[in-house]
Amino acid sequence: MRILTAEQLSEADKISIKKQQISSEELMEKAASLVFKEIHNRLQTAQIPIKIFCGIGNNGGDGLVVARLLMEQAYSVEVFIVNYSDKRSEDFLSNFQKLKNLDRVRPVLINSETDFPEIKSGDFIIDAIFGIGLNRPAEGWVAKLIDRLNESGAFKLSIDMPSGLFSDKPTDPDSSIIHADFTLSFQTPKMSFFLPESMDYVGDFQILDIGLDKEYLAKLKPQAVLVSKGIAQSLYKPRRKNSHKGDYGHLLISGGSYGKMGSVNLTATAALRTGCGLCTLYIPRCGYEILQTNLPEAMVLTGDDQDFLSGYPEDFEPDGLCFGMGAGTSDKAKTALEDMLKRTKKPVLVDADGLNILSENKELLKLLPENSVLTPHPGELKRLIGQWTDDFEKLEKVKKFSQKYKIIVLVKGAYTFIVNREEVYINNSGNPGMATAGSGDVLSGVIASLMVQGYSPLSAAVLGVYQHGVSGDIAASEKGYEAIMASDIAANMGIAFLRLTESDEA
Ligand SMILES: NC(=O)C1=CN([C@@H]2O[C@H](COP(=O)(O)OP(=O)(O)OC[C@H]3O[C@@H](n4cnc5c(N)ncnc54)[C@H](OP(=O)(O)O)[C@@H]3O)[C@@H](O)[C@H]2O)[C@@H](O)CC1
Ligand SMILES: [K+]
């Protein structure tokens, strides 16, 4: 699914109206009917008090249509017009008239704080105050109304956007923003739904296809692409019957230090569970027995230092390299990374302490082969690219960093972003149980394994992040969030691949 800006969507709105020869009022009726259907499906005419707060633009117009449709089904509905301006939109006005024509309804105008209704925690609030037309923070009594709705404890459903939240630029966290429990949004998800600073305002969300012109939408450059099962399936390369382990690549994983061999174990297990043909581990000597005993499927080479990574194996040509987990940031580990980068032209994956070494020795960034993959979590990212003022600036900085060094950069989080120069992919699989020690080590193993199996680094990153999330979702369904350990994510990778190749009908 492609993520578009407010400007692109309102343009698509106009073009669709023209091409489909419908009026904007008909499009509003269609969009709002879909919202009504979702509510009706869930409430099944339950007589709970529904309070709809409508602005005076088209988002408010949507709210008025939903109000009318709910009333036709005999729901208990009160309508409040948040009368913040006299510039009422045409479609608002025609739907306002239609609503007033129903004799049971008396929409209440809110012009100041004294007009605020009482809101109880058992109310069901529909928020149609502002949508994608928001162009400045909510102010004055409108801001106070938003705060009041938030404090009420009532369930809040936002139409298109939580009111007060910008869709594609930063919103001041001190401004008043509806804290929605659920958002029903039109046509495409919006960028702010996925960013750590704003995602909590959105609650759970669902996208309603209001039928904007597909041909036109396809031509637009998206802000980002939301990775779906379909995209993951299109990247997947089935294994051929007529093949042997040499066809699936030889991965070298370089990392570990005294007390941190578990990270290498996790990365290697994940890599093997993701299907690479061969896996060699390059580690300090203290890890030799540990890994040979724990993971007989992997081969082990050691440097000459007992406790820290050092040097790089002579006369060794793997198909791909993965560096950093548990490696520490000692001078020896730095030299190990430098030696590795000087010896290879193939894209590498650098994670964890490898990223910290790069942050402390920025000159090494220039040695990264083109299309190498970096997998920082927010702390590591900050050390690499410097501080940012908000999530949108962060993303711009990551894009520039990716362009400058010609590399692929992940921004790990609840939604992991995969940034390849100007292109951004957002992953939607996974769950909060995966916020656990070693989860990142497993992810590195998955992506690096795909890289040596002939996937392009970008495909490996997109498919790897998606599969890592699916595997975590399988673990969560079996164990619950709290009990997930990183090794469970590696262990379920096989089922995650079975799920990937299953059609949805099956
Ligand atoms: N595009 C689509 O695909 C479809 C869109 N549809 C619906 O239309 C919605 C967009 O409607 P919209 O453009 O009329 O804007 P909306 O969000 O109702 O705001 C109204 C006006 O408020 C104003 N304003 C802004 N900020 C303000 C502030 N802080 N405080 C006070 N005033 C402020 C500003 O006007 P201004 O005062 O700046 O002239 C703005 O124009 C969209 O979210 C969806 O629900 C569907 O019906 C069909 C398909
Ligand atoms: K809204």
CB-CB neighbours of 326 under 10 Å: 27
CA 83 from centre of chain: 35
Of 130, 158, 183, the residue with max ligand 1 atoms within 8 A of its CB, to mutate for a pocket test, comes to: 130
Predicted pLDDT of residue 505: 57
CATH number belonging to the domain at 231-235+243-501, selected among 3.40.50.880, 3.40.50.620, 3.10.20.310, 3.40.1190.20: 3.40.1190.20
Predicted pLDDT of residue 102: 87
Q: Is 237 annotated as a binding residue?
A: no
Q: What spacing in Å lies between the alpha carbon of 121 and ligand 2's midpoint?
A: 19
CA 59 from centre of chain: 25
CA 169 from centre of chain: 16
The 3-state DSSP composition of the chain as helix, strand, coil percent (nearest 5) reads 45, 15, 40
Task: Say how many CA atoms lie within 13 Å of 179 toward its Cβ.
Answer: 14
Closest atom of ligand 1 to CA, residue 84: 31
Instruction: List, in order, residues 6 or more apart from 114 with CB less than 8 Å away.
Output: none
Tokens of 194: 């996925």
CA distances (Å), origin 74, targets 147, 276, 475: 29, 60, 44
Nearest CA to ligand 1 atom 1: 10
DSSP 282-301: EE-GGGHHHHHHH-TTSEEE
Closest atom of ligand 1 to CA, residue 138: 29
Cα dihedral across residues 323, 326, 327, 328: positive or negative: positive
How far is Cα 370 from Cα 152, in angstroms, rounded to an integer? 53
Give buried/exposed letters for 246-277 (b at 16+ CB in 10 A, else e).
eebbbbbbbbbbeebbbbbbbbbbbbbbbbbb
Which of these, 366, 357, 462, lies nearest to 416 by C-alpha position? Answer: 462
The answer to whether the CB of 85 is under 6 A from ligand 1 is yes
Q: Is 60 annotated as a binding residue?
A: yes
Which of these, 434, 437, 412, lies nearest to 479 by C-alpha position? Answer: 434
Give buried/exposed letters for 444-483 (b at 16+ CB in 10 A, else e).
bbbbbbbbbbebebbbbbbbbbbbbbbbbbbbbeeeeeee
How far is Cα 474 from Cα 493, in angstroms, rounded to an integer? 9
The answer to whether the CB of 186 is under 6 A from ligand 1 is yes
Predicted pLDDT of residue 506: 46
How far is Cα 267 from Cα 325, in angstroms, rounded to an integer? 8
Q: Is 140 annotated as a binding residue?
A: no
The answer to whether the CB of 117 is under 6 A from ligand 1 is no
The answer to whether the CB of 69 is under 6 A from ligand 1 is no
Please work out, in degrees rounded to the nearest 5, the angle formed at the alpha carbon of residue 317 by the alpha carbons of 242 and 308.
125
The answer to whether the CB of 130 is under 6 A from ligand 1 is yes
Nearest CA to ligand 1 atom 45: 59
Tokens of 477: 């369904």
Nearest CA to ligand 1 atom 25: 134
- The per-residue pLDDT string of the chain (506 residues; one tens digit each, 9 = 90 and over) reads 999 999 999 999 999 999 999 999 999 999 999 999 999 999 999 999 999 999 999 999 999 999 999 999 999 999 999 999 999 999 999 999 999 998 777 899 999 999 999 999 999 999 999 999 999 999 999 999 999 999 999 999 999 999 999 999 999 999 999 999 999 999 999 999 999 999 999 999 999 999 999 999 999 999 999 999 999 999 999 999 999 998 999 999 999 999 999 999 999 999 999 999 999 999 999 999 999 999 999 999 999 999 999 999 988 899 999 999 999 999 999 999 999 999 999 999 999 999 999 999 999 999 999 999 999 999 999 999 999 999 999 999 999 999 999 999 999 999 999 999 999 999 999 999 999 999 999 999 999 999 999 999 999 999 999 999 999 999 999 999 999 999 999 999 999 999 999 877 54
Ligand nearest to the CA of 133: 1
Q: Is 163 annotated as a binding residue?
A: yes
**Angular region, 421: left φ>0, alpha ψ -120 to 50, beta rest:** left
Using the structure block, give the residue that is written with the tokens 């959105």: 202
CA distances (Å), origin 502, targets 96, 229, 236, 483, 496: 48, 10, 12, 27, 10
Closest atom of ligand 1 to CA, residue 56: 20
Q: Report domain extents, the chain.
A: 2-218, 231-235+243-501
The answer to whether the CB of 138 is under 6 A from ligand 1 is yes
Nearest CA to ligand 1 atom 15: 133
Ligand nearest to the CA of 138: 1
Predicted pLDDT of residue 99: 94
Yes or no: say if 66 and 99 are a contact pair by the CB < 8 Å rule.
no
Q: Which CATH architecture has domain 2-218?
A: 3-Layer(aba) Sandwich (3.40)
CA distances (Å), origin 224, targets 189, 292, 301, 418, 455: 10, 43, 41, 10, 21
The answer to whether the CB of 129 is under 6 A from ligand 1 is no
Predicted pLDDT of residue 388: 98
Predicted pLDDT of residue 315: 86
Q: Is 160 annotated as a binding residue?
A: yes
Which of these, 87, 91, 90, 179, lies nearest to 135 by C-alpha position? Answer: 87
Do 231-235+243-501 and 2-218 fall under one CATH topology?
no
Residues whose CB is under 5 A from ligand 2 (ion)? 127, 158-159, 163
Q: Is 136 annotated as a binding residue?
A: yes
CA 378 from centre of chain: 14
Q: Is 133 annotated as a binding residue?
A: yes
Ligand nearest to the CA of 164: 1
The answer to whether the CB of 89 is under 6 A from ligand 1 is yes
Q: Determine phi and psi for 323, rounding to 5 degrees.
A: -130, 140
Q: Is 134 annotated as a binding residue?
A: yes
Q: What spacing in Å lies between the alpha carbon of 223 and ligand 1's midpoint?
A: 20
DSSP 199-267: HHHH-EEEEE-----HHHHHHSPPSEEEE-HHHHHHH--PPPSS--GGGG-EEEEE---TT-HHHHHHH
